[in-house]
A and B are shown apart, each in its own frame.
Chain A
Amino acid sequence: MTDTQSPAPLMEVRNLSKSYRVGGGHRLVAVDGISLSVMPGEMLGLVGESGCGKSTLGRCMLRLTDISAGQVMFEGRDITTLPERRLRPLRPRMQMVFQDSSACLNPRRRIGDLLAEPLRVHPGPDQRRRQAADIERRVRDLMELVSLPVAALTRYPHEFSGGQRQRINIARALALSPRLVVADEPVSALDVSVQAQIVNLFSDLRTRLGLTYVFVAHDLAVVRQVSTRVAVMYLGAIVEMGATDDVLHQPAHPYTAALTTAVPRPVVGATPPPPLGGDIPSPVNRPAGCRFHTRCPYVQDRCRMEAPVLRPIRPGHEAACHFPLPPS
């Protein structure tokens, strides 16, 4: 957000909150007052541990769920309260890829059908229904784009491996030439050797299509490979955000530091530092003050009282901590 030279952001959320009603009259605040913007051509990585609200944030951005408070702007337009009918024309320009590649593909439809479906439902760029021949051509292009054989179009999802199914999912998200893609843990369920293929596919797609995407993952190394900027989430809020290597190599927030040291690296002999104690608190009763204070090794009295806000600490680098770590 300190990015001033760029023109309008493609996607911007301001003070976005999303809470769910859970049993016993409690409210679970899954996303708690998040503000961020995504510039055209940017690859924003969203990392954080399970349940911190990454998927919820992604779904809110695309208005796939209702929003409790705040604003969502897409292409400079406020879409927070837009009814689904008016949202429909925007849908082709913002798409989502999900983690579980098999759950999103109807097992009884052929791949060709699955890819053609969004093309049949949504009108073409000229606002008219697409011709069958155009659809056919587009489907073949998509298969080529994600490096799958065209012959596979007549097969069913279960005949593919996990990595191939994820390619199909990506192809389907790309069918309508979106400007923004939110990828929710698209490689988490894949094996390392296959994961690398999909990570490369994302890099390729960006150079070939000039895509903008928000890439949700919990694997820091994967996020680093595919993003220009990262946002680290903890318990529903962004605790640190900035240029990828800046954040990962010179973390200012103690949580980010803990996260980077906790990632097991394939290097033998290095003794890992002592792990962070405790578990993530429940989002139903968040700790008062700094949301990380129950686990923070640097906690002070002030942290228990006063919640730190996300503020710039270095150019292009924000953190929500009263006592940010100095650059090493």
Chain B
Amino acid sequence: MTALLHRAGQTLLVLFGVSVLVFGVFFATPGADPTARIAGRNASPQIMEKVRHEYGFDRPLPVQYVIMMKKLFITRDLASYANRGERVVPEIMQAAPVTACLVCGAAFIWVTMSIAMGTVAAAMKDTWVDRGLMMLGLVGISIPVFWLGEVANLVTQNRYHDTWLFSWVPGLGYVPFSQSPLGWFRALVIPWTVLAVMFIGIYSRVLRTDLVTLAGEDFIRTAHAKGLSPIRVLLWHGLRTSMVTFVSLFGMDFAQLVGGGALLTEVVFGLPGVGRLTYRALTTLDLPVIMATVMYSAVFVVLANAAVDVIYVFLDPRVRDAS
């Protein structure tokens, strides 16, 4: 319990560090006036003055930091001037569920698929099944996600859309779950698959390697000597032990995707998620939005990391004692 509290404190500290760093990079870079960057290009002097006052750019740096954090997390009225004064935080809050739905669905697919593929490949090591699956995994890793997305779009939206196979595929865009669960599912199922492909490749290969290495371990030998069936040995002893590595890998990837790493998929499929928001902000150099999304993804990575550590504690008793 104290270990968990300790960990929570650590997480807060890291979050603080990250926010300072992000703030520093965006606003405390010497020689550049942040006012102009927030106000956007060709802003009138009045707007400049308003921005300067609102963000406290005429006051010391720590005060600026506090104002910025207040605007981000408490009053949430950080506004994007480049985008006609639209509030940034609500925009992110709107985009986040879309990204979350996309990533969670994809994660579900890639976790189940990669566990299935990796385990089957390890069980049938050195057979053609193993080689076939691993080859497939390699293909998945090498296909760029935007290309796969475009091809999927081409096939399902244009070329074969009118055939019975793909006529159910809705047009690009997002349908909220609350509006129509079926529509939501239809809108997301192809993006999910596309996003998951690369991860299936990576995870199944990693898992297979891990399981094969474990097969040489003493405890696997013991499990066989106990008279357990090979399947039980593989699943209960091999796979269960492998989960420790698997989870740490998963936590990182999941966090960076939720934090905006699914940008290409979102753009290709026209999903209004955090990634697309970042993408748009980058193309228009919309500083508040960029900063807010960076901050948001940093928070996610740090939180996910902490979550992984907690899961670790449940998965691996050795970690439990070490802390």
* Interface size counted on chain B using CB atoms at 8 A: 3
* Interface size counted on chain A using CB atoms at 8 A: 1
Complex Cα spacing A23 to B321, Å:
9
Tell me how far the C-beta of A244 lies from the nearest C-beta in chain B, rounded to whole angstroms. Answer: 37
Tell me how far the C-beta of A24 lies from the nearest C-beta in chain B, rounded to whole angstroms. Answer: 8
B323 contacts partner chain A, Cβ-Cβ < 8 Å: yes
Tell me how far the C-beta of B111 lies from the nearest C-beta in chain A, rounded to whole angstroms. Answer: 31
B5 contacts partner chain A, Cβ-Cβ < 8 Å: no
Give the chain B neighbours of A23 by CB distance below 8 A: 321-323
Closest B residue to A23 by CB, please name it: B322
A-contact bits for B286-323, CB 8 A (1 contact / 0 none): 00000000000000000000000000000000000111
Complex Cα spacing A23 to B322, Å:
6
Prevailing SS type, chain B contact patch: helix
Complex Cα spacing A278 to B37, Å:
72
Complex Cα spacing A23 to B323, Å:
7
Complex Cα spacing A138 to B321, Å:
51
Tell me how far the C-beta of A124 lies from the nearest C-beta in chain B, rounded to whole angstroms. Answer: 48
Complex Cα spacing A23 to B319, Å:
11
Give the chain A neighbours of B321 by CB distance below 8 A: 23
Tell me how far the C-beta of A26 lies from the nearest C-beta in chain B, rounded to whole angstroms. Answer: 12
Tell me how far the C-beta of A158 lies from the nearest C-beta in chain B, rounded to whole angstroms. Answer: 20
Give the chain A neighbours of B323 by CB distance below 8 A: 23
Closest A residue to B2 by CB, please name it: A24
Tell me how far the C-beta of B183 lies from the nearest C-beta in chain A, rounded to whole angstroms. Answer: 52
B-contact bits for A1-36, CB 8 A (1 contact / 0 none): 000000000000000000000010000000000000
Complex Cα spacing A299 to B323, Å:
36
Tell me how far the C-beta of B5 lies from the nearest C-beta in chain A, rounded to whole angstroms. Answer: 14
Tell me how far the C-beta of B317 lies from the nearest C-beta in chain A, rounded to whole angstroms. Answer: 14
Q: Which of B194-238 contact A (CB under 8 A)?
A: none
Tell me how far the C-beta of B286 lies from the nearest C-beta in chain A, rounded to whole angstroms. Answer: 47
Give the chain A neighbours of B322 by CB distance below 8 A: 23
Tell me how far the C-beta of B143 lies from the nearest C-beta in chain A, rounded to whole angstroms. Answer: 38
Complex Cα spacing A23 to B318, Å:
12
Closest B residue to A24 by CB, please name it: B323
Tell me how far the C-beta of B309 lies from the nearest C-beta in chain A, rounded to whole angstroms. Answer: 15
Q: Which of B13-58 contact A (CB under 8 A)?
A: none
Complex Cα spacing A130 to B271, Å:
72
B-contact bits for A297-318, CB 8 A (1 contact / 0 none): 0000000000000000000000
Tell me how far the C-beta of B313 lies from the nearest C-beta in chain A, rounded to whole angstroms. Answer: 14
Closest B residue to A22 by CB, please name it: B322
Closest A residue to B321 by CB, please name it: A23
Tell me how far the C-beta of A62 lies from the nearest C-beta in chain B, rounded to whole angstroms. Answer: 30
A-contact bits for B146-182, CB 8 A (1 contact / 0 none): 0000000000000000000000000000000000000
Q: Which of B53-79 contact A (CB under 8 A)?
A: none
Complex Cα spacing A23 to B6, Å:
13
Complex Cα spacing A327 to B3, Å:
53
Closest A residue to B322 by CB, please name it: A23
Complex Cα spacing A275 to B322, Å:
33
Complex Cα spacing A92 to B30, Å:
54
Complex Cα spacing A139 to B322, Å:
47
Tell me how far the C-beta of B316 lies from the nearest C-beta in chain A, rounded to whole angstroms. Answer: 15
B-contact bits for A121-144, CB 8 A (1 contact / 0 none): 000000000000000000000000
Complex Cα spacing A162 to B68, Å:
65
Complex Cα spacing A296 to B322, Å:
31
Closest A residue to B3 by CB, please name it: A24
Closest A residue to B323 by CB, please name it: A23
Complex Cα spacing A22 to B17, Å:
27
Tell me how far the C-beta of B319 lies from the nearest C-beta in chain A, rounded to whole angstroms. Answer: 11
Tell me how far the C-beta of B8 lies from the nearest C-beta in chain A, rounded to whole angstroms. Answer: 18
B-contact bits for A85-127, CB 8 A (1 contact / 0 none): 0000000000000000000000000000000000000000000
Complex Cα spacing A286 to B296, Å:
49
Complex Cα spacing A23 to B320, Å:
11
Tell me how far the C-beta of A96 lies from the nearest C-beta in chain B, rounded to whole angstroms. Answer: 30
Tell me how far the C-beta of B222 lies from the nearest C-beta in chain A, rounded to whole angstroms. Answer: 22
Tell me how far the C-beta of A235 lies from the nearest C-beta in chain B, rounded to whole angstroms. Answer: 22
B-contact bits for A251-272, CB 8 A (1 contact / 0 none): 0000000000000000000000
Complex Cα spacing A23 to B2, Å:
13
Tell me how far the C-beta of B1 lies from the nearest C-beta in chain A, rounded to whole angstroms. Answer: 14
By Cβ-Cβ distance, the 3 closest A-B pairs, closest first, are A23-B322, A23-B323, A23-B321
Report 3 cross-chain contacts, Cβ distance below 8 Å, ordered by A residue: A23-B321, A23-B322, A23-B323
